[in-house]
Amino acid sequence: MGWSNVTHRQLMGIGAAVLLWTTTAHAADQSRVVTLGANLTAAEQRTMIQSFGTAFQSARRITINHSQEETLLRGVAPQSEIGTRSISSSAVETERSGYGIRVTTKNITWVTPAMYANALATAGVTNARVQAAAPFPVSGTAALAGILTAYQSASGHVIPYGQERTAAQEMMTTGSLGDQIGSKAAAATLMRRVKTIVLQQHLTTASAIRPVVIREANNLSIKLSDTQINEITNLMVSISRLPIDASTLSTQLRAWEQQAARIAPPGFWQQLVIWLKRIWHAITAL
């Protein structure tokens, strides 16, 4: 069909189709945001963007500087963890309702995907696919600042600074506890379960929350010191004051709870080692 034979109605139809396509494409781009550490070289930036996948090649890009990371983490994380340069990068895509929070990492050595997911749920993030990465191994604590910035840009949802700080505190408390008990997976599960109960039952005082911490730790075969119990309790008091819906939280973290059910708690492995040692001693004593 030549252009001379195209009717006015056909032209309008073609125009509408083009408009719909460009609008849809624009909306898709708006739902994806990449943050890049300000201290990355141009080559490292390209590596990061490529690692996030082709869907993010045309995504909006935001540079995160060290002062932004320090503003979020100062007083929450040790200065050694914050560092002096902005390296961590992230990619965030908002998803359909019910998708939950899903996180993958690359070259992140200290913060686990479950720790990020817990913290993001506390910050009020919903239905997002998150990637946190660096061109070489880094702890990943500073990546939270970029992830939160990317999510707010992609979703249009503004997260209060105080809520961001509480989320960062949860991430650091979980990581520290995980190091102490030998399992960040178990620490993240404990935090998630206590937090869910606190929100579901509207617990707001230390006296009401402390027994929950002790009970859930026992259920997971995690032995906590009084200092650890108090630290978790105080964190949960802060979380109880945030505008978080318990049902929404459960939906966002459902995948992580299902994953946790497949992971044996640290107490299981401790008991297994003790049992094997007893068998070995019994055999060698023969």
In sequence order, which residues have a C-beta less than 8 Å from that of residue 151 and are 6 or more positions away?
33, 92, 94, 120, 125, 128, 130, 157, 159
DSSP, res 160: P
The predicted pLDDT at position 15 comes to 46
* Domain identity same for 157 and 21: yes
Angle at 47 between CA 43 and CA 53, to 5 degrees: 150
DSSP, res 90: E
* Amino acid making up residue 202: H
Per-10-residue mean pLDDT, the chain, length 286: 51 44 47 97 97 95 95 90 91 96 96 97 98 96 96 97 98 97 96 98 98 98 98 98 96 81 53 54 54
Sign of CA dihedral 98, 64, 163, 225: positive
Q: Taking the CB of residue 195, how many other CB atoms lie within 10 A of it?
A: 26
By the 8 A CB rule, do 188 and 196 touch? Answer: no
Number of compact structural domains in the chain: 2
* Domain identity same for 135 and 232: no
* Domain identity same for 120 and 242: no
Q: Which of 162, 191, 207 is a domain's end point?
A: 162
Q: What is the DSSP string of 216-237?
A: HHHHTT----HHHHHHHHHHHH
Structure tokens at 170: 């949860």
Helices (H), the chain: 8-30, 42-51, 66-73, 79-82, 113-123, 143-155, 161-181, 184-200, 206-219, 226-240, 246-252, 254-260, 266-284
* Domain identity same for 262 and 201: yes
280 belongs to a structural domain: no
The predicted pLDDT at position 232 comes to 99
**Domain enclosing residue 12, as ranges:** 3-162
14 belongs to a structural domain: yes
Using CA atoms, how far apart are residues 76 and 119, in angstroms rounded to an integer?
A: 13
**DSSP run (H or E) holding 205:** none
283 belongs to a structural domain: no
* Domain identity same for 114 and 191: no
Q: Which of 107, 135, 162 is a domain's end point?
A: 162
In sequence order, which residues have a C-beta less than 8 Å from that of residue 90 and are 6 or more positions away?
34, 35, 130, 131, 132, 133, 143, 146, 147, 150
* Domain identity same for 19 and 155: yes
The predicted pLDDT at position 84 comes to 87
Structure tokens at 207: 């006296």
* Domain identity same for 208 and 113: no
281 belongs to a structural domain: no
* Domain identity same for 31 and 158: yes
The half-sphere exposure of 85 on its side-chain side, counting CA atoms within 13 A, is: 8
* Amino acid making up residue 113: P
Q: What pTM was computed for the model?
A: 0.82
285 belongs to a structural domain: no
- Which strand ranges, in their side-by-side order, compose the sheet holding 101-108? 60-64, 32-37, 89-94, 128-138, 101-108
169 belongs to a structural domain: no
* Domain identity same for 134 and 269: no
* Domain identity same for 185 and 155: no
End-to-end CA distance of the chain: 94
Q: Which of 97, 132, 162 is a domain's end point?
A: 162
168 belongs to a structural domain: no
* Domain identity same for 182 and 210: yes
* Domain identity same for 205 and 132: no
The predicted pLDDT at position 127 comes to 97
